Amino acid sequence: MSGIDRAAIPQAEAGGILTVDLGALAANWRDLAGRVAPAECAAVVKGDAYGTGLETSAQALWDAGARTLFVALLSEGKRLRAVLPAATIYVLNGLFAGTEETYRDSRLRPVLGSLPEIALWTAFCARIGNRLPAALHVDTGMNRLGLAPSEAVGLAETREEIGFELALLMSHLACADEPGHPLTVRQLEDFRAIAALFPGVPASLANSAGCLSGPDFHFDLVRPGIALYGGRSRADMAPLRPVVTLELRVSQVRDVHAGETIGYGAAATASEPMRIAILAAGYADGIPRLAGSSDTRGGAEAIIAGRRCPLIGRISMDLMALDITALPEDAVKAGDLATLLGRQIGVDELARHGETIGYEILTSLGRRYHRRIG
């Protein structure tokens, strides 16, 4: 991302330390694989493995037992192939004209979601005389990518004319994170009916939330993403083990007099004498600006000196303020670290304060941290 070798940024030169626990990532995959057996548990590693680092995270998932992986883009597939020569790799975002040879040369499988894409792959396979594998994506209610159900029915009726290996039939759940949502029930029924038209073709419907929704959703292969990385995938279930820890460095500790304001826009006012720690990170590092606070709304918290303390004032590009008034006077000094994400503060808690989702938090965390991978 942006050409920066993030792991190479020295700790002393960074505003924070981002630690990726590959052991927790592997444990989360094994947990899900056990829950969905006998279905195969794949792994979604798009978005730089949800911000944790594509190559290292994919290797950890492979070592844990994942043999099928999904990315969004062809460029991600090529990176992944370089580290996992034996993996089955699907590219989710469709087939573009002129990329067919790259798919063949890198042994990647396009996920075909339209009749023109199917025609393109069929023509390429005919031209090279080789029925290469691909997945077929059917839309069952997401209205994002995928064939319309009527198109899938028509394709099933002429299946013998398909000029490539149909290796997987898939769809994507839109509301499985909301237990009992009627669209989820409808999508399951529609996908089951479509899958019946393609006997012998492995079928896949479940994302992370689908994995936790019971065996009816598992079919032959599941595709967990956010759950692997410690995010909450269903509103009624606790997340799995946290994978990412984020510690931010204290740049300065300062006193604020009663009545003085803190940060841009004078959004927060000290109602009494305060002590604040200025942390060396901000929205340029992927921390949502809305996670700050004002006189009318609370914000996120961080843990420092063993205690939760609230952020105070607006988060700026490179800095934020933490209210440490409740701590002993000598408890915090410049150079100390405050934990914004970790075992006690998950990505979904920070996301809630930032009025976003855990996915966005993980995939936005940054280019300027010192990274520890282990």
Residues 42 and 222 sit within 8 Å (Cβ to Cβ): yes
DSSP code of residue 113: -
Which uninterrupted H or E stretch holds 236?
Answer: none
Residues 6+ apart with CB under 8 A from 373: 7, 19, 20, 22, 53, 56
Tell me, yes or no, if 46 is annotated catalytic: yes
DSSP 8-state code for residue 98: T
Q: How far apart are CA 100 and CA 96, in angstroms?
A: 8
d(CA 171, CA 127): 29
* Parallel, antiparallel or unpaired: strands 43-44 and 68-71: parallel
Verify whether residue 103 is a known catalytic residue.
no
Catalytically annotated residue among 46, 90, 283, 369: 46
Are the CB atoms for 311 and 300 separated by under 8 Å? yes
Do 165 and 132 form a contact (C-beta atoms < 8 A)?
Answer: yes
Check 50, 78, 103, 264 and give the catalytic one: 264
Instruction: Give, as one character, the DSSP assignment of residue 364.
Output: H
Q: What are residue 297's phi and psi, to 5 degrees?
A: -145, 145
Active site positions, annotated: 46, 264
